[in-house]
Amino acid sequence: MQTPYLTGRLRSFGHAFRGLKVLVQTQPNARIHALATLLVLAGGWLLRISPAEWALIALTIACVWAAEAMNTAIEFVVDLVSPDHHPLAAKAKDVAAGAVLLTAIGAAVVGGIVFGPYVLRLFAR
């Protein structure tokens, strides 16, 4: 027997997963993030990175995806409240996109720190 509280929580997960589906289906950059995620996970598996390195990679992936999701949510809301071009609406979208760019740059730095030594060892052979 499910309680109303449990039912509400399960429904919340359904909304969240539907949001992720919308994100991937409607945003070309999210599909790029998906490909990058798969490549990084495959690279980590092939190079047998350490548990601590996996933790850094997982946190970094989550940050990029969260930033992309928030950017998309902001874009949807801005489009709703300001369907016509407005300078403040453009600024809000630009700042949100800048947040994604910052996380992507950070992810590249973390990727270089984690994968760099492994790649250098491969080329040193």
Tokens read off for 23: 């994100």
Contacts 24+ apart (CB under 8 A), 76-85: none
> Positive or negative CA dihedral for 82, 20, 13, 42?
negative
Report the C-alpha gap between 40 and 45 in whole angstroms: 9
Distances (CA, A) of 112 to 11, 34, 53: 39, 19, 12
Q: How many other CB atoms are found less than 10 A from the CB of residue 114? A: 21
Catalytic site residues? 68
